[in-house]
Homo-oligomer: A and B are copies of this chain.
Amino acid sequence: MTRTVVGSATREVALGFDQPFVIIGERINPTGRKLLAEEMRNGDFSRVERDVVAQVEAGAHMLDVNAGIPLADEPAILARTIQLVQSLTDLPLSIDSSIVAALEAGLSVYRGKALVNSVTGEDDRLERVLPLVKKYGAAVVAISNDETGISEDPDVRFAVAKRIVERAADHGIPREDIVVDPLLMPIGAMRYAGRQVFHILGRLRDELKVNSTCGASNVSFGLPNREGINGAYLSMAIANGLTSAITNPIADGVRHSVMAADVLMGNDPECARWIRTFRQAPVEGERGVRVNRRRGGGPVEAPVAG
């Protein structure tokens, strides 16, 4: 059974079809967060610190770290952010950048086996990123698009993923260290985006036998009650073989859907985690699981602190 193991200096996390689903917290990312971008540019990492704490408390298994700030020194900021985050938590990290120099800067300071996020199927990207992955002994997210863009044909996207796995092998990177992102489109814009991804995921599991991840929040773009769509999407994708997602761990609807999916895939032995979480059926104000009231069901960031 394929198992992708990533780690910090002191903790390992495994992705696999027989493992509990891995939630990679998406919050440390200045894209679309103007205030965070401005603060990070100016060397103020207080909000990053709060995002680390909140995601760890919400039960994230890994954290994604992105420092993509326009016109900033991304390699330096990414390296600094990674060092800061590793001083706060022992969760393994995903080093997230579209700039190869930033990936290398991040890898050079990272302690442990990182997940590089990401490489795409273009030749020049493959030839620049895969040697880095090999050099640092990392795992890598492989995004299934290439020079021709993102195909609407799921079998073409599968073929791109297969080609990346083969190319990685040429560089001495085993398939266990490739985590494929099948690319999820907003369902409001593309009616069969869900079916396409479920089809690719099944082939990744059954034929290519590789682990997978995806940005799960994008699917509900433009729709009301996004958390309802995101949670159902994740459980459906897990049933088709998805083994991790980059998403917001603080959203109850999402976290609980993933926990239920782990139960239903047989990956929560004896249903122990489910029972531990829900058996007390606590009401508001009690410790443990707390239900947050919100307007309209959209995601709200409310860390469950004692």
Contacts and interface: CB of A to CB of B under 8 A. Distances in A.
Contacts of A265: 194-195
B282 A296 contact: yes
Contacts of A275: 223-224
Contact of A235 (B188, B195, B232, B293): B232
Interface size on A, as a range, is 35 or more
Interface stretch (A39-47, A79-87, A252-260): A252-260
B278 A192 contact: no
Interface string A194-230: 1100100000000000000000000100011100110
Given A239-B239, A275-B224, A295 B266 contact: no
Interface stretch (A102-110, A158-166, A172-180, A297-305): A297-305
Given A281-B224, A294-B299, A236 B253 contact: no
A293 B301 contact: no
Contact of A274 (B225, B264, B281, B293): B225
A279 B224 contact: yes
Contact of A232 (B188, B240, B261, B301): B261
Interface string A242-258: 00000000001100110
A191 interface: yes
Contacts of A297: 256, 278, 281, 291, 299, 301
Q: How many copies does the complex hold?
A: 2
A231 B252 contact: no
Contact of A264 (B187, B238, B278, B281): B187
Contact of A299 (B240, B259, B277, B293): B293
Given A191-B269, A223-B275, A240-B239, A229 B264 contact: yes
A124 to B, nearest CB: 35
A274 B239 contact: no
A268 to B, nearest CB: 9
Given A281-B298, A296-B289, A194 B266 contact: yes
Contacts of A191: 266, 269
Nearest to A238: B236
Given A291-B294, A293-B284, A271 B187 contact: yes
Interface of A: 187-188, 191-192, 194-195, 198, 219, 223-225, 228-229, 231-233, 235-240, 252-253, 256-257, 259-261, 263-266, 269, 271, 274-275, 277-284, 289, 291-299, 301
30 contacts: A187-B264, A188-B271, A191-B266, A194-B263, A194-B264, A195-B266, A223-B275, A223-B278, A224-B274, A224-B275, A225-B277, A225-B281, A228-B260, A231-B260, A232-B263, A235-B236, A235-B257, A239-B240, A278-B296, A281-B295, A282-B296, A283-B295, A289-B296, A291-B293, A291-B295, A291-B297, A291-B299, A292-B299, A293-B293, A297-B301
